[in-house]
Amino acid sequence: GQPNVGKSSLFNFLSNRKASIVSSKPGTTRDVIEVHLEIKGFPIILADTAGLRSNTQGDEIEKEGQSLALERWNSSDLKIWVIDPSTTSKQEENKDNKQYKEDKEEDEFKSKMMNECDLIIANKMDLWQKKEEIGADLLLNKPVVMVSCKT
């Protein structure tokens, strides 16, 4: 998922321990962090990565983290895309053409990643007031799990 959608909080919840640092600051997770789990007898390697964006932003360390995250994404057997449905596209509200273009590019990137994934996790559902509206625009014929991983 993108920065600050709750990937590390979800990772910690599934790990049943504080394995990743959780912060409201985008770009906190930079390295790939792994935990080895067993779920119903199946060995799982779960990875927490830097948030992915359409254009690599931030300093050189954050860019390297995003590069590592994309490498891990491309080599994963099961791809999970985590979203925060309370942060929807603001394209129609933007009057600045540059910002509109950046938002459009970001939306296209999110759509591409969601199409590649096997599962979508809608996190921060405690902040989302319109749960009944989450449906069609997010499903993309993918399973969607709605959760809230408060820190």
**Tens digits of per-residue pLDDT, 38-83?**
989 999 999 999 988 877 666 788 889 989 999 999 999 999 999 8
- pLDDT of 56: 64
d(C-alpha 137, C-alpha 125), whole Å: 16
**Cβ burial, residue 83 (10 Å; 0-12/13-18/19+):** buried
Direct distance between the N- and C-terminal alpha carbons of the chain, in angstroms, rounded to an integer: 17
Structure tokens at 84: 């925060």
Q: Is 94 in contact with 103 (CB distance < 8 Å)?
A: yes
> Residue type at 61?
I
Query: Could you read off the pLDDT of 71-125 as tens digits, one per residue?
Result: 999 999 999 999 888 775 444 444 466 666 777 888 888 888 888 999 999 898 8
